[in-house]
Structure 1
Amino acid sequence: MIPSTTRRLLIHRHDLARTRVDEQPAPTEPAEGEALLAPDRFSLTTNNVTYAAYGAAMRYWDFFPTGDADWGLVPVWGFANVIASNVDGLKTGDRFYGYFPPANILRVVPAKVGDHGFRDGTEHRQPLPPAYNQYFRCSHDPLYTPDTEAFQAIFRPLFLTSFTLADFLADNAWFGAERVVLSSASSKTAYGTAFCMDDDVETIGLTSAANRDFVAESCCYRRTLTYPELTTLDADTPTLYIDFAGDRDLRSTIHHHFGQLTHSCVVGSAQTVELPKKQELPGPAPKFFFAPDQIGKRTKEWGAEVFAQRLGEAWSRFHAHVTDAQRDLLRVVEGHGLDGARQVFEQLLAGRVAPREGHVVRMDR
């Protein structure tokens, strides 16, 4: 059934602490070649804060335009059902995993519809990275099981970054480093990256004193250090830095401390919403890692089937690691509706979400 109104969670593009839920007129029936999807379960993590912080620079606001220059829809990952379709191969009730607005409905123009899913051919999305436009049919998705939807919603988008980042660094022979230092080591993308790394390099997780035990008990890093302990590390060992924090002062400390910093990789902004600014730093210039680029490279080199197989194998190992009851790495917290999503986003923005928590929102029916 098509809802009577469209409800959306809006974030102010220039002041992320300002949020509101609004209502729009009821959507119309889909035209020929269109379908309507109703998101009903999605996650919210610091990854979504990064999407908002880099929304203009990385064009995340462009996926789901609002028509308002000041207010945007921060993309979320999760599941949706087809509620109306005028497309061959898509019927009401079909369930898909993918990239959605925090809203109760999404109009798509499915292209290349097949057993495994479709690509959204909506005109404004075509210049955007294709990895974000793919929707996976749950009934034919090798990574999908109904009982793990919450885990998938939380970790799947993060782990895709983790897997491709670890592969990118290995593909570049770790840029000559013998040690990899990861900031915000308690973040899910950070410890997923460390989990995917070979034993060829030493992995060191940097974290706060409050999260030190969690990071150590994750068993994803060789060593765990608090931020003040960073400068106790040997400065002459070839070192690679992965920045999940976005902390300019920390980045400066690392660049000045390590005399043989081989690569400085920026991934996220777990500790800030400020856009990166140019810094005069010794050593290599920080470079932003963009997962779709590595996905595209490996898909061409390996083929889509081999890429999916290798990702799936790593995903299975990671799922077993995280869900091992002895580690206690994940406690799913379920919220309800867009008002619940709004509260979670505000908590994430303020840094008030514990690393063990994984927040999933169920939409009101």
Structure 2
Amino acid sequence: MSLQSARRLLVNKHDLTKSRVEEQAPPAEPAAGEALLAPDLFSLTTNNVTYAAYGEAMRYWEFFPTGEDEWGQVPVWGFANVVASKVEGLSAGDRFYGYFPPASVLRVQPVKVGDHGFRDGTAHRQPLPPAYNQYFRCQHDPLYTPDSEAFQAIYRPLFITSFTLADFLADNDWFGAERVLLSSASSKTAYGTAFCIGDAVETIGLTSAPNREFVTGSGCYQRTLIYPELESLDAKIPTLYVDFSGDRELRSRIHHHCSQLKHSCVVGSAQTVELPQKQELPGPPPKFFFAPDQIGKRIGEWGPQGFGEQLGGAWSRFHAHVDDAQRDLLEVVEGQGLEDARQVFEQLLAGRVPPRDGHVIRLDR
């Protein structure tokens, strides 16, 4: 085992502006049935802010408990190598994509180990959504390419939400709506969703004035409006609202203006870390979208292979769209170590990360 020390990034559950990097003793050797994974590349986006904001309500803090009531580890998506294993089918050096703590090591109890990966059978994770407990072996992962790990770390967890959200809305025949409004339209999950919707129904991106050009140039929306222009929309057209911002005032404006609002879908909190509160609103009550529910439904209907093929096809098309140099949608910004990760999280929390930037963190081996 090559890990000589360990570190982790902790965030205060009740005040997300407080964080610290903590040194730990080197991890003990794995027991029988255990393996140690060393994360070495992960992304940080507003998705991670959502995990922290909804950490209690959606149980995100429970995936990687810290042993400290006030402090948690915000889950991240990325890549890790096995550094020690006492599990048949897992060897040192095997590389996996999945859900990790922002830390130098994760102890897992792999079950259902196969060519394509494994599931973490650690007891405390079993009541939690199974989609987050699956680890994909890069060698046999159809979405993996070695030269695009940063792209995958940034977009893959977001695009799965985008794909399943668009599928959920289509699966419900757009709830009878003729147009879809998406707030925080410059966020990667939002424009990924609009891309997946395509021309099936009109998509309108709502954004701030500084981000108008970026959203318009993304090529994912039929129309772009800045927030002060909301009331210029024809209020009588049947409308579906997808809330990526978490902005309660904006949600109220939409509910009051759109007299034919058919569905109000809450996805994230790109612009706030306040927990959702009940609001007295006209129209349908806002409902939180939870991607693992739609994933489970489609795997039941299409089978794992069918779901993978549908997702893989959409992923390839989206990858080509983002890679188009004329669009200039992504600039990878690479940080080194957990202290850089802490600073990026603070910037995301404060809304100071330009939409074009995609942050990844590399950890020393």
Bin the TM-score by the shorter chain: over 0.9
Stretches of 4+ aligned residues off by more than 3 angstroms: none
Matched, 1:293 2:285: no
- The 2-side partners of 1:327 and 1:39 are apart by 31
8 A Cα contact 2:81 2:96, kept in partner: yes
Residue number in structure 1 paired with 2:14 = 14
Residue number in structure 1 paired with 2:55 = 55
Residue number in structure 2 paired with 1:68 = 68
Matched, 1:318 2:318: yes
- The 1-side partners of 2:301 and 2:199 are apart by 24
Aligned residues: 365
- The 1-side partners of 2:189 and 2:200 are apart by 20
Residue number in structure 2 paired with 1:243 = 243
Q: Secondary structure at the match of 1:165?
A: helix
Instruction: Name the % identity.
Output: 78
Q: For residues 124-273 of structure 1, what are the structure 2 equivalents within 5 Å?
A: 124-273=124-273
8 A Cα contact 1:178 1:200, kept in partner: no
- The 1-side partners of 2:143 and 2:244 are apart by 26
Letter in 2 for 1:44: L
- The 2-side partners of 1:357 and 1:238 are apart by 34
Q: For residues 1-40 of structure 1, what are the structure 2 equivalents within 5 Å?
A: 1-40=1-40
Letter in 1 for 2:212: R
8 A Cα contact 2:3 2:83, kept in partner: no
Residue number in structure 2 paired with 1:113 = 113
Residue number in structure 2 paired with 1:103 = 103
- The 1-side partners of 2:67 and 2:197 are apart by 42
8 A Cα contact 1:179 1:238, kept in partner: yes
- The 2-side partners of 1:198 and 1:345 are apart by 31
- The 2-side partners of 1:68 and 1:205 are apart by 41
Deviation string 1:22-42 (CA, Å, 9 cap, x unpaired) is 012221100000000000000
Deviation string 1:289-309 (CA, Å, 9 cap, x unpaired) is 000000000000000000000
- The 1-side partners of 2:2 and 2:284 are apart by 53
Residue number in structure 2 paired with 1:281 = 281
Unaligned runs of 5+ in 1: none
Tell me how far 1:198 sits from its aligned partner: 4.0
Deviation string 1:334-358 (CA, Å, 9 cap, x unpaired) is 0000001001000100101000000
Residue number in structure 2 paired with 1:77 = 77
Q: Secondary structure at the match of 1:274?
A: coil
TM normalised by structure 2 equals 0.99
Deviation string 1:101-135 (CA, Å, 9 cap, x unpaired) is 00000000000000000000000000000000000
Tell me how far 1:68 sits from its aligned partner: 0.6
Residue number in structure 1 paired with 2:345 = 345
Q: Secondary structure at the match of 2:262?
A: strand
Tell me how far 1:238 sits from its aligned partner: 0.1
- The 2-side partners of 1:3 and 1:142 are apart by 30
Residue number in structure 2 paired with 1:358 = 358
Unaligned runs of 5+ in 2: none
- The 2-side partners of 1:200 and 1:105 are apart by 44
Letter in 2 for 1:150: A
| Structure 1 residues 188 and 216, CA gap change in structure 2 (3 angstroms) | same
Q: Secondary structure at the match of 1:69?
A: coil
8 A Cα contact 2:182 2:203, kept in partner: yes
Deviation string 1:151-208 (CA, Å, 9 cap, x unpaired) is 0000000000000000000000000000000000000000000000042311000000
